[in-house]
């Protein structure tokens, strides 16, 4: 019997830890099992061709929000061409019902953590002992699960992020999040995990992305992981999702020791409005959050990534705007603006009637409108988020972009800018960096009426901070003055930026 484990990652640089857990736990069937990864950008008929070239009896596919529709189409092709091939689905997107993508052509669906269940199902299929089509799994004991890390290939290590974890589950009950469905946090044997990390390091792994939902919940474990990296020679990169209100002294001291570019912390803020947070069962300790953001901003070189959500039940655009303004006051770090999604299994649906929540049934299940925000409002904010990524989060306009809001609200001023730039481009995609820079220059000088030379000098600093960049044509008339200022040392960089 031949078995293939596969999925469509959102990007080529990503890797699927789930497939490797399944492979690690295939026991005597492991020699007949193969991992084949693709991305959502690959042509699906070509993906099907490569899968079927191996003449598999069973294909296991991981289904996630980013590939749900693609997997539906892939199954359609596979079953048309090779109807006898058994298709087994697993992953978050099929763990909870209702399914909003049609997976009727799949032979089996494993709901829940399938580390051990996939092997058991394959054995039953091999023995021709039919199982229920939908297999609902209880939470497995992590002590019984073989670790996956040996099954990252040398190619993965050289070209992809290596996904790792030290725990599963989340103690919080945020109603929009699937992690809230698994309230108990369970930890792997840390000695065993660190042993595997050491072997990955010896093989050359330097990009580690932890998928734990609350990395800094258990201080003993968190400190040991940080010690693992601090004992290593840079460069390396470690990414953690952390809760914003729990940075005790021991953790702070270690975070401060990380070299520039080595540590990335993703912090789910979502809202700073206590009423809205309470509405969705989200705990907010605002004083602690502000204190910790201030610490991370001013006493560490960690790259910080804060999250805000548009469309939470009861939250108006004005409230969202105050959230963004406050975060910008607290920090200069990346702020990711997301649109609320309704995932099957979450409790966010309890607000549907009271707050008029209307969502798309097509992945990624974004909100379309509610009592506070019209469909038009949501569309505008989706474009706002995209332009924010391109201009602010990209870091390409650190000096010049703040001119947009130097005398007022960040939100209100960027909102006006996003309306203007969309009216000019009729698009949020395929806007090159030179074109975006020119649009920002035009807006600042024509709409905001700022002095052209002042804007140009700041934009030249932004554009030329990377060696080898050419001076854009719209800035060439000001380049000579910029060179004079640079020689005089009056370019405006503060000590930390230098």
Rounded to whole angstroms, how far apart are CA atoms 26 and 1? 13
CATH number of the CATH domain containing 315: 3.80.30.20
Q: Is residue 387 part of a domain?
A: no
Give pairs for 80-84: CB < 8 Å, separation 24+.
Answer: 81/48, 81/52, 82/52
Q: Quickly state the pLDDT bin for 466 (edges 50, 70, 90).
A: confident
Rounded to whole angstroms, how far apart are CA atoms 441 and 454? 11
Rounded to whole angstroms, how far apart are CA atoms 124 and 118? 10
**What is the reported pLDDT for 170?**
86
Q: Cβ-count burial of 274 within 10 angstroms (0-12 exposed, 13-18 middle, 19+ buried)? A: exposed
Is the predicted pLDDT of residue 488 greater than 50, yes or no? no
Pairing of strands 367-369, 358-359: antiparallel
pLDDT tens-digit series, residues 252-299 = 999 999 999 999 999 999 999 999 999 998 888 999 999 999 999 999
**What is the reported pLDDT for 20?**
98
Q: Cβ-count burial of 438 within 10 angstroms (0-12 exposed, 13-18 middle, 19+ buried)? A: middle
At how many degrees (to 10) do helices 452-463 and 433-442 cross?
160
CB atoms within 10 A of CB 29: 18
Give yes or no for a contact between 411 and 325, defined as CB atoms under 8 angstroms apart. yes
Rounded to whole angstroms, how far apart are CA atoms 64 and 90? 9
Q: Clarify whether residues 416 and 350 are in a common domain.
A: no
Give yes or no for a contact between 81 and 95, defined as CB atoms under 8 angstroms apart. no
DSSP 100: S
Distances (CA, A) of 262 to 46, 212, 229, 336, 398: 37, 18, 9, 20, 21
Rounded to whole angstroms, how far apart are CA atoms 120 and 124? 6
Q: Clarify whether residues 231 and 338 are in a common domain.
A: yes
Q: Is residue 154 part of a domain?
A: no
| Domains contained in the chain, number | 3
Q: Is residue 17 part of a domain?
A: yes
Is the predicted pLDDT of residue 490 greater than 50, yes or no? no
Give yes or no for a contact between 222 and 253, defined as CB atoms under 8 angstroms apart. no
Q: Is residue 59 part of a domain?
A: yes
**What is the reported pLDDT for 167?**
95
CB atoms within 10 A of CB 470: 10
Is the predicted pLDDT of residue 174 greater than 90, yes or no? no
**Residue 74's closest CA among 38, 108, 98?**
38
Is the predicted pLDDT of residue 468 greater than 80, yes or no? no
**What is the reported pLDDT for 145?**
98
Q: Quickly state the pLDDT bin for 495 (edges 50, 70, 90).
A: very low
| Residue 162 or 97, more confident | 162
Q: To the nearest 5 percent, what fractions of the chain are helix, strand and coil?
A: 45, 15, 40
Q: Is residue 156 part of a domain?
A: no
Q: What percent of the chain has pLDDT over 90?
A: 83
Distances (CA, A) of 241 to 67, 384, 453: 22, 25, 42
Rounded to whole angstroms, how far apart are CA atoms 35 and 178? 26
3-state class (DSSP) for residue 308: strand
Give yes or no for a contact between 307 and 270, defined as CB atoms under 8 angstroms apart. yes
CATH number of the CATH domain containing 70: 3.40.50.280
Q: Is residue 137 part of a domain?
A: yes
Q: Clarify whether residues 209 and 306 are in a common domain.
A: yes
Final residue of a structural domain among 142, 173, 203: 142
Is the predicted pLDDT of residue 496 greater than 90, yes or no? no
**What is the reported pLDDT for 497?**
38
Q: Clarify whether residues 285 and 398 are in a common domain.
A: no
Q: What domain range is 44 assigned to?
A: 3-142
Q: Clarify whether residues 308 and 412 are in a common domain.
A: no
Q: Quickly state the pLDDT bin for 486 (edges 50, 70, 90).
A: low
Q: Is residue 468 part of a domain?
A: yes
Final residue of a structural domain among 328, 344, 373: 373
Distances (CA, A) of 231 to 47, 194, 212, 228, 361: 42, 13, 22, 6, 48
Q: Clarify whether residues 412 and 367 are in a common domain.
A: no
Q: Clarify whether residues 289 and 331 are in a common domain.
A: yes
Distances (CA, A) of 185 to 8, 170, 221, 222, 282: 28, 5, 13, 14, 17
Q: Is residue 383 part of a domain?
A: no
DSSP 72: H
Q: Cβ-count burial of 486 within 10 angstroms (0-12 exposed, 13-18 middle, 19+ buried)? A: middle
Give yes or no for a contact between 110 and 117, defined as CB atoms under 8 angstroms apart. yes
Q: Quickly state the pLDDT bin for 345 (edges 50, 70, 90).
A: confident
**What is the reported pLDDT for 101?**
93
* Ramachandran assignment for 347, one of left (phi > 0), alpha (psi -120 to 50 degrees), beta (any other): alpha
**Residue 211's closest CA among 118, 316, 92, 329?**
92
Once rounded to an integer, what is the mean pLDDT over residues 442-449?
97
Q: Clarify whether residues 405 and 315 are in a common domain.
A: no
Q: Clarify whether residues 112 and 165 are in a common domain.
A: no
Once rounded to an integer, what is the mean pLDDT over residues 6-35?
97
**Residue 337's closest CA among 253, 418, 398?**
418
Q: Clarify whether residues 327 and 415 are in a common domain.
A: no
Q: Clarify whether residues 138 and 167 are in a common domain.
A: no
For the chain, give the number of residues.
498
* Structure tokens belonging to residue 329: 């006051």
Q: Cβ-count burial of 482 within 10 angstroms (0-12 exposed, 13-18 middle, 19+ buried)? A: buried
Q: Clarify whether residues 17 and 91 are in a common domain.
A: yes
Final residue of a structural domain among 314, 342, 373: 373
């Amino acid at each position: 019997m031949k078995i293939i484990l596969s999925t469509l990652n959102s990007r080529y640089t990503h890797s699927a830890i789930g497939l490797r857990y399944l492979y690690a736990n295939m026991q005597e069937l492991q020699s007949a099992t193969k991992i084949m990864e693709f991305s959502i950008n690959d042509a699906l008929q070509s993906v099907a061709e490569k899968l079927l070239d191996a003449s598999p009896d069973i294909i296991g596919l991981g289904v996630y929000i980013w590939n749900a529709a693609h997997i539906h189409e892939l199954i359609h092709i596979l079953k048309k061409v090779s109807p006898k091939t058994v298709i087994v689905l697993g992953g978050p997107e099929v763990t909870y019902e209702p399914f909003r993508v049609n997976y009727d052509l799949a032979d089996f669906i494993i709901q829940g953590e399938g580390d051990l269940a996939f092997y058991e199902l394959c054995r039953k299929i091999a023995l021709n002992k039919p199982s229920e089509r939908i297999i609902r799994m209880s939470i497995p004991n992590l002590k019984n699960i073989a670790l996956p890390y040996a099954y990252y290939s040398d190619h993965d290590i050289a070209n992809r992020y290596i996904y790792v974890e030290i725990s599963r589950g989340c103690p919080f009950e945020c109603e929009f999040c699937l992690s809230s469905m698994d309230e108990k946090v369970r930890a792997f044997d840390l000695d065993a995990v660190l042993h595997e990390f050491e072997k990955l390091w010896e093989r050359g792994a330097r990009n580690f992305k932890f998928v734990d939902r609350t990395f800094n919940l258990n201080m003993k474990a968190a400190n040991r992981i940080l010690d693992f990296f601090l004992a290593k020679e840079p460069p390396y990169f470690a990414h953690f999702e952390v809760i914003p209100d729990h940075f005790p002294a021991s953790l702070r001291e270690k975070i401060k020791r990380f070299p520039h570019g080595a540590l990335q912390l993703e912090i789910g803020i979502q809202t700073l409005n206590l009423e809205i947070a309470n509405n969705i069962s989200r705990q907010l300790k605002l004083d602690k959050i502000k204190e910790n953001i201030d610490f991370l901003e001013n006493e560490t070189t960690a790259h910080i990534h804060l999250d805000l959500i548009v469309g939470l039940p009861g939250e108006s655009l004005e409230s969202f705007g105050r959230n963004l303004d406050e975060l910008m006051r607290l920090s200069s770090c990346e702020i990711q603006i997301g649109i609320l999604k309704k995932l099957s299994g979450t409790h966010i649906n309890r607000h549907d009637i009271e707050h008029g929540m209307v969502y798309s049934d097509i992945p990624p299940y974004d909100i379309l409108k509610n009592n506070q925000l019209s469909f038009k409002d949501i569309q505008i904010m989706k474009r706002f988020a995209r332009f924010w990524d391109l201009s602010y989060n990209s870091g390409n306009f650190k000096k010049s972009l703040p001119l947009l809001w130097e005398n007022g609200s960040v939100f209100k001023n960027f909102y006006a800018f996003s309306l203007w730039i969309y009216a000019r481009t009729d698009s949020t995609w395929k806007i090159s960096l030179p074109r975006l820079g020119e649009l920002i220059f035009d807006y600042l000088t024509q709409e905001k009426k700022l002095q052209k030379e002042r804007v140009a000098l700041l934009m030249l600093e932004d554009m030329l901070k990377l060696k080898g960049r050419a001076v854009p044509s719209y800035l060439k008339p000001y380049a000579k003055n910029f060179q004079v200022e640079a020689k005089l040392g009056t370019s405006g960089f503060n000590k930390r930026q230098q």
